[in-house]
Amino acid sequence: MIPKINLSDTGKEIPVFSLGTWDIRNRKSMIDTIRYSIEIGLNHIDTAEIYGIAEDVVGEAIQGIERDRVFITSKVAPYNASFKGTISACEKSLKRLKTEYIDLYLIHWYEPFLNLEETFSAFSKLIETGKIRYAGVSNFKISELERAIQVFKPFKIVNNQVEYNLDNFRHVEKELAPFCEKNKIIISGYSPLWQKKPPRGTNKWEVLEEVAKKYEATPFQIVLNFLLRTGKIFLIFKTEKIEHLKENLDSLKFKIEKEDIEKIKKAF
């Protein structure tokens, strides 16, 4: 069983891991991995309109699976996020995803030219018409979140999806997380595995290898276990290989001791 976490105060629970779909190299492998992932309960799939073939691949992967067994997040790019643009972007995403609704719809990132009033007015309409279930943002700083919360009332921003790995965990945990917790916005962390560019050959990597040895684990499993330790942030990793998915899930099988957490903190 994959542990779950509350999607803010919506009453909805989602797995602590979500499967990302950016940078798909092999369509068939990604489809097989998505199907396997849903089958074993890791049923939250993260995608976006700007991820090339990703929404189309997700759409194909979920055919034949009962819709309520899958939780889909997608995102509108800020340059499409006018009122009309958002409605149209969402409809195009729904078409590619071959589904009636998106569970969680996010503004992909903040831009000064964004007219949040328009975007959120479109999000409200999409919620009212059942095309999206929940709304959120991605890559928003605290000041941007503050504005977004005000503008979107009486609807709620339930999620802020941000980069979260061993290079920036302090900022996310110490600055962003307390603000989000206070405002009942759950954080999701993307690129936990540094987009497959880990700091190999450095002292940092040596520390991860040393800790991994103790738990008969891999450095990536140590990283995922470490990042899940607060119990308040869910992680989005991408893989199109079932063996990598299994390896990542096995990071849930142990608990890193305090002394090792400190070792990792010291190294990073």
Ligand X SMILES: NC(=O)c1ccc[n+]([C@@H]2O[C@H](COP(=O)([O-])OP(=O)(O)OC[C@H]3O[C@@H](n4cnc5c(N)ncnc54)[C@H](OP(=O)(O)O)[C@@H]3O)[C@@H](O)[C@H]2O)c1
What is the nearest approach in angstroms of ligand X to the Cβ of residue 88? 21
What is the nearest approach in angstroms of ligand X to the Cβ of residue 154? 26
β 17-20/186-190 pair status? unpaired
Q: Which is nearer to ligand X, 100 or 243 (CB)?
A: 243
Cis before 192? omega within 30:
no
What is the nearest approach in angstroms of ligand X to the Cβ of residue 75? 6
* Residue of this chain nearest to ligand X (CB atom): 20
Q: Which is nearer to ligand X, 116 or 137 (CB)?
A: 137
Give the residues lining the site for ligand X (CB under 6 A): 20-23, 46, 108-109, 138-139, 161, 190-196, 220, 236-241, 244, 247-248
> By the 8 A CB rule, do 25 and 48 touch?
no
Q: Which is nearer to ligand X, 88 or 139 (CB)?
A: 139
CA distance 136 to 159: 5
Q: Is 51 a catalytic residue?
A: yes
> By the 8 A CB rule, do 123 and 148 touch?
no
Instruction: Kindly name the residue from 51, 105, 110, 190 that is annotated as catalytic.
Output: 51
Q: Which is nearer to ligand X, 39 or 167 (CB)?
A: 167
Three-state DSSP state, 18: strand
The CB-side HSE value for 252 (13 A sphere, CA atoms) comes to: 15
Residue with tokens 């308040």: 232
What is the nearest approach in angstroms of ligand X to the Cβ of residue 244? 4
- The catalytic site residues sit at 51
